[in-house]
Amino acid sequence: MLRRFSISLDENLLEKFDKYLQIKKYTNRSEAIRDLIRDVFVKEEWETDKEVFGVITFIFDHHQPKIQEKITELQHDFNEHIVSATHVHIDHHNCLEVVIVSGRAKNIRELHEKIKALRGLKNANLIMSSTGTDLA
């Protein structure tokens, strides 16, 4: 069930928000506000170590000695949190991995930090999400 409510905003803040809507291609303020509220609650789930979902993406030089072995070892160490992993060869030197993860936020962050710390890694990002069970 949808419920309406009104809010008051400073004119400058509203102008900035409307520009944000245009940049992000929102068709109305309500959907943008719903997304912003959902983002706050997803962040809260991660901060309170709830069961969450996420995606870890990273790019590395596969010529770096033993990096693939270390990545595989970490994935085996955290196998109960890994839903799926995809490996893509970008070019002669670089590979991209996309790892879908689930579990306690603390464990997912730990895996991300360990991957990020590997020598030869060029970039590692964690996209935080959740099932949104409480975020209808």
- pLDDT tens across 64-119, in order? 999 999 999 999 999 999 999 999 999 999 999 999 999 999 999 999 999 999 99
Which residues in the chain belong to E strands, given as ranges?
A: 51-61, 82-89, 94-104, 121-129
What is the per-residue pLDDT for 2?
A: 85
Q: Give the model confidence (pLDDT) of 5-14 as tens digits.
A: 899 999 999 9
Domains of the chain, residue spans = 11-47, 51-129
Calpha distance 22→27 (Å, rounded): 8
Res 131 pLDDT > 90 = no
Q: Which one-letter amino acid corresponds to residue 97?
A: E
Residue pair 101/84 in contact (Cβ under 8 Å)? The answer is no
Residue 1's pLDDT is what?
85
Report the CATH architecture of 51-129. Answer: 2-Layer Sandwich (3.30)
pLDDT of 20 reads 95
> If residue 33 lies in a helix (H) or strand (E), which one and from where to where?
helix 29-47
Contact 21, 29 (CB under 8 A): yes
